[in-house]
Each structure stands twice: as structure tokens, then as C-alpha cells.
Chains A and B, each alone.
Chain A
Amino acid sequence: MGRGLVRGRKLTRRDFLLLSAGAGVGVVLTGCGAARDQAAVARTAAEGGSNYTGPPVQLGFWNGFTGGDGPIMLDLVNQFNSKHKNIKIDMITMQWAPDFYQKTPSAVAAGEGPDVAIMHVDHLGLNAARGVIVPLDGVVEALGLRGSDFAPVAWKAGIYGGKRYGIPLDTHPLGLYYNKAVMKDAGLDPNKPPQTKDEYMEALKELKGKGIRGSWVPPSYYTGWHMFTSLLWQFGGDLYNDDATKATVNSDAGVEALTWMVDLVKNDYSPKNVAQDGDVIALQNGQTAFNWNGIWMINVFGAVPDLEWGAAPLPRIGTEKAAWANSHNFVIPNQPDPNPDKLRAIKVFIAYVIKNSQAWAEGGQVPALNAVRDGKPFKKLEWQPEFAKELPYVHYGSSKPGVTEINDNILYTAVNDAVLLNTTPKDALDTAVSRADKLLKQNTQKYGG
């Protein structure tokens, strides 16, 4: 897998030479293509991991924490640096999309990649297939990490092609935020957020009686997409079939899920055409009662003066409990010349952050490591444990190569179109599926089955 990069270069170079020969031009080719010494990596990977005693090393650490999570991770990094004299972590933050996920693979291919990085679990497959990141089975072994130490859903997801590529740091699920003042005004119990479909619809009716549109449906990706997928799983559907060769969002479950969202708009529980973040601002301003949003909003709502709010697991609208979630994973990018000292230092760093992820949790995350999640400090947090309750039934998107992009560019468009009332849910999903299937076929051809 990891050697794909090297072979890719040789192949394209030959193509290029053929072409330039054809054009009658000789071109001096300099270049890299340094062989990657996988064996050395594997060897070092298996060595210890709790302590680093080698020569001083500096590690580039890339991530996309551009929001409120950035300063928290930076604090963790600074703490680590001050405790480890011979390791200096140099953190670089870029926007996840387009910057991070475009520049990281390219930089790695150019031999300029970071030493350690964070990726979302649903991006692992693509980056593994393209040889951007290396398997971590040896690292995990060296660190003595076991599946039983982690939330099962987070642990299982880091595997691609039978190998582990990610070590989970956290899980960030979607949940239900509610404005207590608005609920009180409508005669609802502000300490008992609705948890079933009946309760939810009942609450919306009450609110409507008071002139409040209770549940705004954003057509934008954040969080229209996450709301839809949560509902899809609640109705028993899925985005793709088991091996992700066919899209299945236009199943009955998918249509039911999207129809429920669209009906919120049609029945005036939500305005039409909600602007990006309009739903969040509405909750803050007391214009609505409920908002389906990610755990990362805890500190955003927490920072709004005088806002009385709460958070709870998503209500069960469909036939089963389910919620969208994603997970930040530590990954190790491919290096032209893997440095055993650096690898040892990386292991120490990863172990440190995961074990000290209580601070990270406070930034609005559910830690993946059981020891942290079951610890007193975490349980004492006001809202994070509410989201942790969802762990048994959260769903991550498939990490099959290319699938994330299909989600974001094609399937999401169907949600957007339907919520804007441009087309019916069924038509929107059918169109998206036929497009998605063609791309899935191309992807199989590219990345193998």
C-alpha cells in the first residue's frame, strides 16, 4: 500500500519520457522517488513507546483545528513540549477543507509531509490507498493499546484493508441543543427535552402555537447533512451497501428521513431557505427551541451571555436510535526516509495526547479512550456526557476511498435541493444515487475493490 507512491512516480515518469521522446525533446529529469524503507519503520514501530531518550527531534504536526479546538490542542502540545526536553512538536493548523486534505497528500508525495497528523476517520481509507499514511499496527502494539481500551465504534473504524491506519482521539456526535427560555415560554418543561418522535412533534406544535418555529432545518452542509444521515440511520437505512459499491440513500428509509426534514419546512416548523448558521443564531436569539448540531457547539453556546440552553442525545424520530458522528484519528504520514528516532518520539506524543484528552474533551469532544471517558473529570462536565450516551449507536461515514467526497459533493446536494423545496425527496435522492454509483464504479477501478 505504502509503496504506491513510489511506483506511481516511476510509471508517470515513463509516460512522460515516452511523450517527450515522441515530441523529439530530451529533458533532463531530476527527481526524487527515494525508496521508502518500510522494514525500518516496521522494526521501530514495534519498539517501546512510553518514553523517548534519543537525540533531540523536531516533529511537524498538522491538523485542521481552526476553530475553538485549535488553542486547546496547542496547549496540549505546549505542555508536551515542556515535559519532553528532546522532542519539539511544531503544530501547523490549516482549514480541513480545502487546505488540509489537499495539501497533506501532495506534501507527503513531495517528501515534505508532516511527521504526524490528525485525520477524520472517514478519510483514512482514501489516504491509505494513496500511500499518504502508513499502517500503525506496530505502533499500537508498541504502545500497548488494545481495542478494549477504547470506545468500540471508534476503535473498529480505523481499519482499512485489514490494517490499522488511525489511532482514535475522540468522537464528535450530533446531538440536540435546546433553548430553555423558549421552551419555558411555550409551556414546555425546560429540563425535559423531547427524546421521541411523539414528544418532539408535540413540542413543535406547542411552540408553533406561540409563534415559534421550533426546529430549523438548514439546507447547508453544516448541519443539514448530519441531520439527514442521523435520520437515515434512525430509519434503518444506510448511505451505501456493505462494500460501498452502490449508494443506497434512495431506500425507503432515506426517503422517509428526508421527507421528515422537508415536512418540518412545509409545516412551518422551520423557515424556508435557512442561511448558513442561521439555525444556530436563531437558537441564540430565542427564535427557535431546538437545534441539531455537533458536540463542538458546546463552547459556542456556552460563550453566549444570558443564553439558557441545554444539550441531549438526538430524539429518536425513526425506528431505532442513531446519530451521526465522526472521529479524529492520529495518523503517521509516509516519509521518504523514515527516521527511527522520530518514530519513537511520535509514539510518545500520540500516547501523551490520548491519555491527556480530558482537556480535549472540555473543548467539545467525547474522548475515545475509556480511561478518560470513565474518569471523574469527564463525568463532571455538564454536557459532554450527554453526547457520550450516544456512543453505543453513533454511525461514522464509510471510510472507503473516495466515498467522503461523494457524500460531500453528490449525496449532500440531494439534501440541499430537497430542503430548499426545489425537488421532491425521492427525485433528489434518485438523481444523487445514479450519479454516485457511477463515481463508485470509477473509484473501484482506481483504488481496487
Chain B
Amino acid sequence: MQGTTAKPGGRNAGGLAKKLLTYAALILLTLIFVAPLLWMLSTSLKPNTETTALPLSLLPEQFSTEGYSTILNSGSQSPALVWFFNSMIAGLANTALILVTASMAAYALARMEFRGKRVLFAMIISTLFIPPIILLTPNYQIVDLFGWLDTLLAVIVPGAAGAFGVFFLRQFFLSLPKELEEAAMLDGANRYQIFFRIILPLSKAPLATLAVLSFLTNWNDFLWPVYVLFTPGNLTLPPGLSILQGAYTTNYAVIMAGGVIASIPVLIVFIIAQRYIIQGVARSGLKG
């Protein structure tokens, strides 16, 4: 398929019809993917009575920010702004923790020789195959022992123990030419200097990719925060939305406003870092 369509200036009439057809398909698909998101935005800007009234109005007939003001002024009932900042703090802290710990470990595994390296690496890799569900109950207990239940630490720290970041960065470090490090070593640089002054600056792209993927994963994580965060003032956005859905069962303007608030940061990250995200995903499929 690729060969034919990519050819410029083939048979023109057929080419044009094909092009039109392609665009029709593309636009239809775009509608399918984007319409629900626009519906969420539109609903969030309606007065609540309009959100369940038939016939449905595609655009707000009566423009209203009632949903947003309810959620933002509800005090400790549904403090969406607090949830937002909690999610931000958790996402950034978790990402930073992953970048620091994974890059250091990955560098040691990629470039240094030490006793037990093979065993250790095999062990870390094998946990990629452990279904995370078996860690759910015991980690709940462990987090409880640390006194972290109902605190952001519960959604920052355990999530940084995954092996993906280590694996991902190790693959990249292995692909770097060794000559740079060897030259630096001849100049008397030690491992720490090499790591911070040579390796990390060379790794901006994979680090950015890992950062964006980690942030998105943490921002969107659901099962774990739903169960380890309890007090409305301590929630992140995903469990907050879940509470919101329960507490405002029929107030869809409020619920959709919450959805919009939770979506905007990731959509902004996505628009800015689209290249890293899509490359990162593609790479995770093709090259590990």
C-alpha cells in the first residue's frame, strides 16, 4: 500500500478520488476521536438543568460557568484546585524520582562491571513480567506501615520502583559511543563526573521522553490512588473525579467541569511534547 500512494503524480483522476476518500476517512475519524472531548467541554459550560434536558443542545443554549464555580467554591467537599495541585506535585515528584533513580541505575547497569550484575539485571528485568496486581494488597500494607496512607507520598514513591525507566535508559546508554567516556577518563574524570557532564547532557531526548511518559502515567493513574487516598482534601484528580461522580450524581455540569480541569494539563503537555510522547510510545513497541 505504502509504495503506491506515496508516489506523486500517478494517474491523476484516480489519485484525486483517492485523496478525497482518504481525507473523508481522516476527518470522520477525527470527529469520532474529538467529538466526545468537545462534548465534555460543551457540557461543562451549560447550566446543570440543560445537561439532562431533552432535546439535547450541542452547544450551550445558555452559557454558564456554574459547573466550574460549584466545584471551585465547594470548600472541602470537592476542592478541585487542591486536587489539581496534588496531582501536579505527585506527577512532578514521581517523575523526578524516576529520572534520578532510573538514570543512575541504568548507567551502572550499562557501563560498569561489578559482582552480581547479571543476577541483578535479570531480577530487575524479570519484574517487568510480574503482574502489578499481586503488589496491590502488600503495598497497601507497606504504605500503611510507613504512615503514608492518605498522603501524597503513597502516590509518589511506590510508582517509581517500576523497572521500565531503568530498562528504557539502559538501552539508550548502551547505544552511546564509548569513546567519549574513554577520552574523559584519560583526562582524569571519574564516573560521577562522566555521568553528570557527559552522559546526562547527551541523553536529553530519552530523558525527556521518559519524563513525559512518567508524568502522564502518574497523572492518569487510577486504581492505586482510589484506594490509598481517602480524605477529599488529600486526593489527586483521578480519585477526585470518581468522588465527584458519586457526590454529584445528577449534576453533569460539575462532573464535566472536573473532567475538563483534569484534561487541560495533559492536553497541553501532549501538544507541547507530542513528538516525545509519540516517539516514546513507538520506541517502547519497536526497540524496547
Residues of A within 8 A of B (CB): 9, 12-13, 16, 29-32, 60, 66-67, 70, 90-95, 99, 102-104, 106-107, 109-110, 112
B210 interfacial by beta-carbon distance below 8 Å: no
Query: Given A16-B141, A67-B249, A112 and B146 touching (CB < 8 A)?
Result: no
Q: How far is the CB of A292 from chain B (nearest CB, A)?
A: 22
Q: How far is the CB of B34 from chain A (nearest CB, A)?
A: 31
Question: Is the beta-carbon distance between A66 and B247 smaller than 8 angstroms?
Answer: yes
Q: Which of B75, B146, B227, B246 contacts A94 (CB 8 A)?
A: B246
Q: Which residues of A contact B242 (CB under 8 A)?
A: 99
Question: Is the beta-carbon distance between A32 and B150 smaller than 8 angstroms?
Answer: no
CA of A145 to CA of B184 in the docked complex: distance in angstroms?
Answer: 82
Q: Which residues of B contact A70 (CB under 8 A)?
A: 247
Question: Is the beta-carbon distance between B234 and A112 smaller than 8 angstroms?
Answer: yes
Question: Is the beta-carbon distance between B145 and A13 smaller than 8 angstroms?
Answer: yes
Q: How far is the CB of A127 from chain B (nearest CB, A)?
A: 14
Within 8 A of A (CB), among B158-215: none
Q: Which residues of A contact B73 (CB under 8 A)?
A: none
Query: Given A90-B76, A92-B232, A110 and B147 touching (CB < 8 A)?
Result: yes
Centre residue among A12, A16, A112 by max chain B CB count within 10 A: A112
Within 8 A of A (CB), among B106-145: 141-142, 144-145
CA of A29 to CA of B143 in the docked complex: distance in angstroms?
Answer: 10
Q: How far is the CB of B77 from chain A (nearest CB, A)?
A: 6
Q: A29-B146, A32-B147, A92-B77 are in contact. List 7 more A-B contacts (CB 8 A).
A: A16-B141, A66-B248, A70-B247, A90-B75, A93-B247, A94-B247, A99-B246
CA of A9 to CA of B142 in the docked complex: distance in angstroms?
Answer: 11
Q: Which residues of B contact A29 (CB under 8 A)?
A: 145-146
CA of A12 to CA of B149 in the docked complex: distance in angstroms?
Answer: 15
Q: Which residues of B contact A95 (CB under 8 A)?
A: 243, 246-247, 249
Question: Is the beta-carbon distance between B150 and A110 smaller than 8 angstroms?
Answer: yes
Question: Is the beta-carbon distance between A66 and B246 smaller than 8 angstroms?
Answer: yes
> Can you list 22 A-B pairs with a CB-CB distance of less than 8 A?
A9-B144, A12-B141, A16-B141, A30-B147, A31-B147, A32-B147, A66-B246, A66-B248, A67-B249, A92-B232, A93-B77, A95-B246, A99-B242, A99-B246, A102-B227, A103-B231, A106-B230, A107-B231, A110-B144, A110-B147, A110-B149, A110-B150
CA of A70 to CA of B75 in the docked complex: distance in angstroms?
Answer: 15
Q: Which of A31, A67, A94 contacts B145 (CB 8 A)?
A: A31
CA of A67 to CA of B243 in the docked complex: distance in angstroms?
Answer: 14
- Give how many B residues have a beta carbon under 8 Å from the other chain's beta carbons: 22
Q: Which residues of B contact A102 (CB under 8 A)?
A: 227
Q: How far is the CB of A48 from chain B (nearest CB, A)?
A: 28
Centre residue among B76, B77, B231 by max chain A CB count within 10 A: B231
CA of A30 to CA of B148 in the docked complex: distance in angstroms?
Answer: 9
Q: Which residues of B contact A104 (CB under 8 A)?
A: 230
Closest 7 A-B residue pairs measured CB to CB? Answer: A95-B246, A107-B230, A103-B230, A110-B149, A110-B150, A31-B147, A32-B147
CA of A31 to CA of B145 in the docked complex: distance in angstroms?
Answer: 6
Q: How far is the CB of B135 from chain A (nearest CB, A)?
A: 14
Within 8 A of A (CB), among B225-252: 227, 230-232, 234, 242-243, 246-249
Q: Which residues of B contact A99 (CB under 8 A)?
A: 242-243, 246
Q: How far is the CB of B54 from chain A (nearest CB, A)?
A: 14
Q: Which residues of B contact A60 (CB under 8 A)?
A: 76
Chain A: CB-nearest residue to B235: A103
Q: Which of A16, A91, A103 contacts B142 (CB 8 A)?
A: A16
CA of A104 to CA of B227 in the docked complex: distance in angstroms?
Answer: 11
Interface string of B75-93 (1 = CB under 8 A from A): 1110000000000000000
Chain B: CB-nearest residue to A97: B246
Q: Which residues of A contact B142 (CB under 8 A)?
A: 16
Centre residue among B147, B234, B249 by max chain A CB count within 10 A: B147
Question: Is the beta-carbon distance between B249 and A110 smaller than 8 angstroms?
Answer: no
CA of A31 to CA of B141 in the docked complex: distance in angstroms?
Answer: 12
Q: Which residues of B contact A107 (CB under 8 A)?
A: 150, 230-231
Chain A: CB-nearest residue to B151: A110
Q: How far is the CB of A99 from chain B (nearest CB, A)?
A: 5
Query: Given A12-B141, A106-B230, A91 and B77 touching (CB < 8 A)?
Result: yes
Q: How far is the CB of A418 from chain B (nearest CB, A)?
A: 29
CA of A106 to CA of B144 in the docked complex: distance in angstroms?
Answer: 10
Chain B: CB-nearest residue to A13: B145
CA of A13 to CA of B147 in the docked complex: distance in angstroms?
Answer: 11
CA of A91 to CA of B150 in the docked complex: distance in angstroms?
Answer: 19
CA of A66 to CA of B243 in the docked complex: distance in angstroms?
Answer: 10
Q: Which residues of B contact A9 (CB under 8 A)?
A: 144-145
Q: Which residues of A contact B247 (CB under 8 A)?
A: 66, 70, 93-95
Q: Which residues of A contact B150 (CB under 8 A)?
A: 106-107, 110, 112
Q: Which residues of B contact A90 (CB under 8 A)?
A: 75-76
Q: Which of A13, A91, A106 contacts B149 (CB 8 A)?
A: A106
CA of A45 to CA of B38 in the docked complex: distance in angstroms?
Answer: 55
CA of A106 to CA of B75 in the docked complex: distance in angstroms?
Answer: 22
CA of A13 to CA of B75 in the docked complex: distance in angstroms?
Answer: 36
Q: Which of B146, B231, B232, B234 contacts A30 (CB 8 A)?
A: B146
Q: How far is the CB of A10 from chain B (nearest CB, A)?
A: 11
